[in-house]
Structure 1
Amino acid sequence: MKSHRSFYRALAIGAPAPFQSMPVALERMIHFVPPHMEKVRAKVPQLIKQVDVILGNLEDAIPLDAKQAARHGFIQLANDNDFGSTGLWVRINSLESPWVLDDLMEIVPACGEKLDVIMLPKVNGPWDIHYLDQLLAQLEAKAAISRPIRIHAILETAEGVNNVSAIAEASPRMQGISLGPADLAASRGMKTTRVGGGHPDYKVLADDAGDAPRASYQQDLWHYTLAKMVDACMAAGIKAFYGPFGDFSDPAACEAQFRNAFLMGCVGTWTLHPSQIDIAKRVFSPEPEEVAMARRILAAMPDGSGAVMIDGKMQDDATWKQAKVLDDLAKLVADKDPEYAKFYQVE
């Protein structure tokens, strides 16, 4: 573990100084783009207006013979577009793969000045972050990049879950962590082929009522892991995200999974299909009624101390903090999205 004196020191001569606090950004949906496909790259200018983050995917779902084309396609889409307030991310190949070094050695010099975040798959422990941290500093110094590229880890191995707190605290580059349920299921030996979401066989039964049918209730396979990840992220001052939901034919289940993650503290999710963009935008933007109530609490307790009664319910410093979370998020959403600015009555 680095000492507190050296934690924020650049790891290479000439590299930009690490962020001491993360840039404020709205990241409700991280929209995945396969950059080896020209027809998809052509849609990026329109997608920039619709989503909070554009991510070029170089890892899973990219055929082995298209890895180089995906890398070069990402560099092209990065350099051909003005992203404005929309984030530009890339998911590189995992550290044990034969492609990862070329991903980094080519992308950082070619478009590192525009790149906000590198998403690192299959992170097992802080040592993976330390390796990427050092290498990025060297590449940034060599290419004279003016600001540090941040790191986002995917939690998709049992070892990674075991080390999630250390991963979250591994570097000042850490932007956040996403839950990767598909690879994590395989790593754990779980008996499911679903990509995220629940499973009808993971349930509890109501008590035996004799001849009457017993009610059953589906449980959330990912509740424990998501809660553990959120705690690790919040304690480290970084962001927690839900990952993929693979059943594009079931928008209701997708929305339920996204909403569970939002309520538990996640700030955003992945969108793998255009149909999921509006779901993510709706779920990860607070309801106007909740924002209005939050503002009533803040107005009644301007300094956040004491206790008041609103509609017969006690509000104190703890609910003031909850209200502040909602109000701050509403302002961030309103700055990005004029439609929501009207909902929240923010001018």
Structure 2
Amino acid sequence: MNKSPRKFYEPLAIGAPAPFRELPVRVERMIHFVPPHLEKVRAKMADMIPTADVILGNLEDAIPADAKEAARKGFIEMGLANDFGSTGLWTRVNCLNSPWLLDDVTEIVAAIGNKLDVIMLPKVEGVWDIHYLDQLLAQLEAKHGVKKPIMIHAILETAEGVKNVEEIALASPRMHGMSLGPADLAASRAMKTTRVGGGHPEYKVLADPGADPASARAVYQQDLWHYTIAKMVDACASAGIKAFYGPFGDIADLAACEVQFRNAFLMGCAGAWSLHPNQIALAKKVFSPDPKEVAFAKKILEAMPDGSGVAMIDGKMQDDATWKQAKVIVDLARQVAAKDPAYAALYGF
């Protein structure tokens, strides 16, 4: 049963901070994953923080079972030792049916709750998963005097989660957004691929045969993730939260990674995961609006200050619908410019 509008924004524990009414305005072009159990990674953190929009301490997949507690302690140490400034501090905790989740949340909120921005929750299947973490976080925030609400970011990586995506997006005012988790989702759906994101050479269509039946027919590879990304983007946009593409596993194939990131950006995603420092620069490039697009969008807004009427700009007709498109691009460019001086110069802000 849904809560009444008044109840929806009430804290779930006495003394917990009031939930956000609107998402904090932050540029989050990439969520950069780090393994916090490795001391050599923690030692580089001060240099890495200024390069990324979000630093995420990973406690779940890719962390061996015998290193789970070390990863948790390492993340807390990392949080205490560094000033993150405008860079977001996130963690991906272990899944709800694991033996580590409860200690992940309780120990981290107790130690660095006032520094932590977002908890990424894996394998979310329905509102019940969000409601559990929502209540637990409120209790811990109240207990430890946390001053701002810790947000929840859901990973969409099971068939049931995709089925329930609209309800998940609206489950709590803590919802920050969602990410597509292609590897676990592929397994959940029994998809026949071992790739982590990206296309597959066997997922394709053929052009119609030509006059000569023996001539080669053009082959076009299709996007395995188009439907799911579109469904996730719609759910997030309707709830006022952010959609993200998740990991691209082939770290060496930057060209294919860029294409996957760009597809997600064009469809409405705010950012993507980066698994290696070379993907940070790629995400900045892709998820920052193109300077030429920004310049053209600025022309539209200048020609139609109140968004009404019709204008001809560079031979193209613009109306209230294209004004809205232009505003999306310029608003994002202003946010990127405020975070990144190099892009401020490119955009002329």
TM-score by length of 2: 0.99
Superposed displacement of residue 5, structure 1: 1.6
> 1:130 matched to which residue of 2?
131
> How far apart in 2 are the matches of 1:162 and 1:18?
27
Report how far residue 316 of structure 1 moved: 0.5
Q: Kindly state the Cα deviation for residue 235 of structure 1 after the two structures are TM-superposed.
A: 0.1
Aligned match of 1:182: 183
- Residue 4 of structure 1 and its aligned partner are, at CA, apart by 1.1
State yes or no: 1:231 paired with 2:238. Answer: no
Q: What SS does the aligned partner of 2:198 have?
A: coil
Q: 1:141-171 CA distances to partner (integer Å, 9 max, x unpaired)? A: 0001011000000000000000000000000
Q: Shift in Å at residue 34 of structure 1?
A: 0.2
Q: Which amino acid aligns with 1:6?
A: K
What residue is the counterpart of 1:3 in the other structure? 4
Query: Which position in structure 2 is the counterpart of 1:339?
Result: 342
Find the residue that maps to 2:130 and give its secondary structure.
helix
Distance 1:307 1:122 in 2: 47
* CA deviation map 1:107-130 (0-9, x unaligned): 001000000000000000011000
Aligned: 1:256 with 2:259:
yes
The amino acid of 2:238's aligned partner reads A
CA deviation profile, 1:246-300 (whole Å, cap 9, x unmatched): 0011100000000000000001000001111110000000010000000000000
Deviation at 1:312, TM superposition (A): 1.7
> Are 2:30 and 1:21 aligned?
no
SS at match of 1:231: helix
* Match of residue 12 from structure 1: 13
Aligned to 2:85: 84
The equivalent of 2:33 in structure 1 is 32
3-state SS of paired residue (2:195):
coil
SS of the aligned residue for 1:6 comes to: helix
Measured in 1, the distance between the counterparts of 2:247 and 2:307 equals: 37
1:205-251 per-residue CA deviation (whole Å, 9 max, x = no partner) reads 01122121011100000000000000000000000000000001110
In 1, the alpha carbon distance for the partners of 2:270 and 2:13 equals: 32
> Counterparts of 1:333 and 1:5 in 2: how far apart (Å)?
34
CA distance in 2, matches of 1:221, 1:30: 22
Q: Does residue 321 of structure 2 align to residue 318 of structure 1?
A: yes
Cα distance in 2 for partners of 1:157, 1:307 equals 45
Q: Report the Cα offset of residue 105 of structure 1.
A: 1.1
Could you tell me which amino acid in structure 1 is paired with residue 288 of structure 2?
A: S
Give me the whole-angstrom Cα distance separating, in 2, the residues matched to 1:187 and 1:68: 27
2:50 matched to 1:59? Answer: no
Partner of 1:272: 275
Give the whole-Å Cα distance in 1 for the aligned partners of 2:197 and 2:310.
Answer: 41
Partner SS state of residue 5, structure 2: coil
CA distance in 2 between partners of 1:251 and 1:155 (Å): 24
Q: Secondary structure at the match of 2:132?
A: helix
Task: Provide the secondary structure at the position in 1 that maps to 2:288.
Answer: coil
Give 1:79 shift: 0.5
**Shift of residue 88 of structure 1?**
0.1
Cα shift readout 1:63-94 (whole Å, capped 9, x = no counterpart): 00000000000000000000000000000000
Distance 1:188 1:245 in 2: 19
Percentage identity across aligned positions?
A: 74
Of 328, 331, 345, which residue of structure 2 is paired with 1:328?
331
What do you get for the CA RMSD once the two structures are aligned? 0.5
Q: CA deviation at 1:313?
A: 1.1
Q: Does 1:241 align with 2:251?
A: no
Structure-1 separation of matches of 2:55 and 2:250: 21
How far 1:311 sits from its partner (Å)? 1.7
Q: Distance in 2 between matches of 1:315 and 1:204?
A: 35
Gaps (5+ residues) in structure 2?
none
* Distance (whole Å) between structure 1 residues aligned to residue 268 and residue 167 of structure 2: 19
Q: Secondary structure at the match of 1:54?
A: strand
Report Cα offsets for 1:36-88 as digits up to 9, x if no partner. Answer: 00000011111111000000000000000000000000000000000000000
SS, match of residue 232 in structure 2: helix
User: Aligned with 2:7: secondary structure?
Assistant: coil
User: Structure 1: which 5+ runs fail to align?
Assistant: none
**C-alpha separation in 2, matches of 1:58 and 1:2:** 32
For residue 152 of structure 1, what is the aligned residue in structure 2?
153
Deviations 1:175-229 (A, max 9, x none): 0000000000000000000000000000000112212101110000000000000
Q: Among 297, 300, 305, which residue is 2:300 paired with?
A: 297
